[in-house]
Every structure is written in C-alpha cells, then in structure tokens.
C-alpha cells in the first residue's frame, strides 16, 4: 500500500514543486549514444529549443543528461560530461526553465548547480560519489536517489531478488538516511526504484504495480519507464514505437502511488496523467477540486 507523502511539495533550489498533481520531467539527453534519442540535441541552441518545447507541452522540469546509462554503456570522464551539458544547462536556466541534471559525479553536480540547475538526479543513489548529498544540502537542491545494481555495464547481469519491493525500498531508505545525515532535508528527497536498472521484465512490471510502496517514510516516488526495453518485450516493439506503452506505464504507476514521471514524450504523458489524476480525485482522494500548477519559485506553469 502506498504511504502518505510527508510533504505536499518537493523542495528544490529556489522553490518548491507541488506534488498535489503529477510532476513530469522531460528528458533531454545530450549524448551521442543514448538508446532512443542520442544526438537529438546538437548544441545549446537546439537544447534550449527542445527544452522550451517540452516546457510548453507541460514538463515541470527538464532533466538534462550528458552520460548514457543504457545497459552496457561505458562511463565518460567528468570533463567530457560537463562539456556536453554545460552550455545547455546555463541556457535553459537562463531562460527561466527549471533544470535537473542527471549525473553521478560530484564535480558535474557542482558545476550544474553553479550554472542554475535546481536538482540533481543521481542514478547511482549516492553510491558512486556520496559528496553529492552535502552539496545538495548546502545549496537546497532537490535530490533524486535511484536504485541501480552495479553500474550501466554490469547492471543487467544479476536480475534476481528474494523480495524485489522490500529489498529496493530498504536500500532507498538507507541511502536517503545517508543524505539526511549530510544535512539534506526530507522535503528535498525523491526516490526512484530504477526501472530498467538491474531488473527483469517482470520486475519492472511489479515496480509499476507497487510504485507507492517505495516511498519509505513519505518520500515521493519517481518512475522512468519511457521507451524502455521491457515495454518492447511486452509489446514486441522497437524503441521508436513505445509511446503507448510508456503512457500506460506512467498511468499504472500513478494509480499505484508514483507522483513524478521522467519521460521523452511530454505532451501525451502530461495529458494522460492529468486525466488519470482527475479520475483519482473524483474517486475520493482528498482535494479541493482545483487543478494546480507545479509552482517553482517564480516559474508559473499554466493550467
């Protein structure tokens, strides 16, 4: 059963994002080798164009990444990762677009926050560079803690769990405790069970069915099923044809308790989540009946 969120908003640098409706993070991969969209953003100008388009489509944040974490991906040096994303992070932030940065490296996180990012999305869950936590504590940045076995090169080698939900939940709570010990406030933390990161097809489906159970002591849950291979396995479709599967996965996770969704195709997911949320509210979820924007600082999102 999903736990009740301890905070109605996610604290990020410079503001708070309401969790009283679904939150959408638009994926902007600035890598040449991501599994479905590598090389789409060629420079900062194109990245800004794409970020603005996703924002207009309903993204609450743009999640920028400079290192592919697809299964089997090789790591890149911190300086190369920053070269890929630095100008784009600055351009998006300078245009008033809230940015989260997908990185496992402390130096990249520091530079991203200096350039205007409001949150760090650490897919290693503070395993690779625990120094990210005190930096988030100092700056007030939001912190996404994700579960992954091993690293992108090895994460699909071991897909077995005795009790998938219990094991992942316990690990996420342990890593969140590390962040708290570094001074991060509970309201800054979001947890992500890591769909596709060391999980089988059936494991990914179980995560979607039980998303709210990963919330620990009230942390909001993010899921990132967008275009992933488990959708292809279930529907027998290539990455370019997984839109409907992505939408269905997000709605299923919302119904089971997730509140944040990291996706490539913002507009159809935004519409589907908003309708599903309306159905949830009509079914008795406490609400004043009004649609709310994800209000972050002075960045108003039209509803």
By the 10 Å C-beta count (0-12 exposed, 13-18 middle, 19+ buried), 224 is classed as buried
User: 134 with 154: CB under 8 angstroms?
Assistant: no
Which residue among 55, 199, 242, 262 is the active-site one?
262
- Between β-strands 15-18 and 9-12, what pairing exists: parallel, antiparallel or unpaired? antiparallel
Q: Which of 228, 242, 259, 270 is labelled catalytic? A: 228
CB atoms inside a 10 Å sphere around CB 182: 18
**For helices 266-282 and 44-57, what crossing angle results, to 10°?**
30
Does the active-site annotation cover 228? yes
C-alpha 179/C-alpha 204 separation (Å) is 26
Q: How far apart are CA 37 and CA 231, in angstroms?
A: 16
> Distances from the Cα of 96 to the Cαs of 28, 82, 142, 300, in angstroms?
16, 20, 17, 10
**Is 111 buried (19+), middle (13-18) or exposed (0-12) by CB count in 10 A?**
buried
Q: What is the Cα–Cα distance from 94 to 26, expressed in whole angstroms?
A: 17
Question: CA-to-CA distance for 261 and 195, rounded, in angstroms?
Answer: 11
Which positions are catalytic?
Answer: 228, 262
């Amino acid at each position: 059963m999903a736990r009740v969120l301890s905070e109605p908003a996610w604290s990020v640098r410079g503001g708070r994002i309401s969790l009283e409706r679904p939150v959408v993070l638009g994926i902007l991969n600035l890598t040449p080798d991501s599994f479905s969209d590598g090389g789409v953003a060629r420079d900062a100008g194109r990245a800004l164009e794409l970020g603005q388009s996703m924002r207009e489509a309903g993204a609450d944040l743009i999640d920028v990444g400079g290192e592919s974490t697809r299964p089997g991906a090789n790591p890149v040096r911190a300086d190369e990762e920053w070269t890929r994303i630095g100008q784009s992070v600055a351009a998006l932030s300078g245009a008033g677009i809230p940015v989260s940065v997908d990185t496992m490296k402390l130096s990249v996180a520091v530079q991203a926050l200096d350039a205007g990012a409001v949150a760090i999305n650490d897919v290693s869950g503070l395993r690779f560079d625990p120094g990210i936590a005190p930096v988030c504590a100092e700056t007030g940045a939001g912190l996404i803690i994700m579960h992954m076995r091993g690293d992108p090169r090895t994460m699909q080698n071991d897909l077995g769990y005795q009790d998938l939900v219990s094991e992942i939940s316990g690990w996420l709570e342990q890593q969140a405790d590390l962040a708290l010990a570094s001074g991060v406030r509970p309201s800054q933390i979001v947890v992500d069970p890591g769909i596709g990161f060391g999980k089988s097809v059936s494991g990914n489906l179980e995560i979607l069915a039980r998303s709210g159970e990963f919330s620990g002591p009230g942390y909001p849950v993010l899921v990132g099923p967008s275009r992933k291979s488990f959708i292809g396995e279930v529907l027998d479709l290539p990455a370019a044809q997984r839109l409907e599967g992505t939408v269905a996965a997000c709605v299923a996770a919302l119904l089971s308790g997730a509140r944040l969704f990291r996706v490539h195709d913002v507009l159809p997911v935004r519409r589907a989540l908003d309708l599903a949320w309306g159905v949830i509210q009509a079914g008795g979820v406490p609400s004043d009946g009004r649609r709310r924007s994800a209000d972050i600082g002075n960045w108003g999102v039209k509803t």
